[in-house]
Structure 1
Amino acid sequence: MSAQNLSALLWQERELLELLVFKLEEEQLLLTSGRTRWLHHATREVEQVLERLRDTGLARAVHASGVAESWGIDGTATLRELAAAAPDEPWGELLTAHLQAMTVLVAQIGALRDSNQHFLKAASRSAQETLAGIGTGAGTYAADGAASHGHRRGHAQPTLLDKDM
C-alpha cells in the first residue's frame, strides 16, 4: 500500500463528492422548479453516487491503514493524522489538501441535503393540503346557470322541508 495509491483513491473520492454535489443541485433544481416528474431519476442517481462513494471510502480506509502502518503509526489513523505523520514532504501537503477539499465538499453536501429535505417537506405539505381540499370542491355551475357547490350529480339535494308531504 503506497501513499501514491492512497492519493489516487482520495482523488476518486473527491470526484465522487463533486458529482454528488452536482446531483444534489440537480435534484434541488427539479424541486424548486416544480418539475417533480424526473425527481425519482435524480434521487436514484444520488443513491448510485452514494453507493460508489461507500465502495471508494472502504478502499481508501484499507489503503490508509496500510500507509499508516508503513509510516509507523496506528492503522486507524485519520487522514489528518496521516498528513501530520507523513515522512516525506509532498505527502503531508498533498494529504492536507485532500482533507481540506473534501471537508468543503462534505459541508456543501450537508447544506444541499438539508435544503432539499426542506423543499421535499414543503412539497409534501402542499400535496397533502391539495388532497385535503379536493372533497370541499370549488363552486361550479349547473346547466341552468345556477351555482352548484361540489354536490355530486345524481344525488338529491337535501332540503329543509319536503313540500310534497
Structure 2
Amino acid sequence: MHATPTTTLPRPLSTASLELLIAADEWRRSRTKPEPIWTHGPLTVTLTTDRRLIATLRALTLYDVQVRRREDYLEARRTAIAVAAALIPRVIERLALLVNYRYPVEREEVEAQARLFLMDWTTEIHELYDHFDPIEMALPQGNERQICGNISQALANTIF
C-alpha cells in the first residue's frame, strides 16, 4: 500500500513574525559589518557594529540612537525608519535645492537654504554656521561640496 503525501501548504508568516525574523537577522549580521536596514534615495538607516541606529543623508547624520539590548532593537528600528520616512519630503526639497541652486541674496533666503542644506530647523543660526566646515570637509569634491561652501559663505556674510 502506498502512502499518499499530504498536500497541506505551510501557512505564511504573519507580518509581525516576518518583521521579527528580519530584525533578528539584521542584528546578527551587524556583528561583523554595518547593516543597511532601510533606504530611500540618498537617505539611509544603518545598524552599526557598535549597535547604533543611524539615519544619514550623504555626510549628514540626521538620527543616531544607541540600542543597548537585542530586545529593544525591533522598537528602535521601527522608530528610526519612521523618523527617516518622515524626512522624505524635506530630503526631496533639499535635492531640489542642489539641482536648482542659486547664490542667495536676502538674509531669509540664506537662512532657509542653510537650514534645508543641513536639515536642521531648531539650532540657533549662529551655531548652525559652525556645522558647515566639518560637513564641507566630509563631502567628496563635487557640486554638493561647492554648494555647501557657497551657503556657508553667504551665511557668514549675513550673520557677521
TM over 0.5: no
Q: Which structure shows the higher helix fraction?
A: 1
Normalization by structure 1: what TM-score? Answer: 0.28
The structure with the larger Rg is: 1
Which protein, 1 or 2, shows the higher relative CO under an 8 Å CA cutoff with sep ≥ 6? Answer: 1
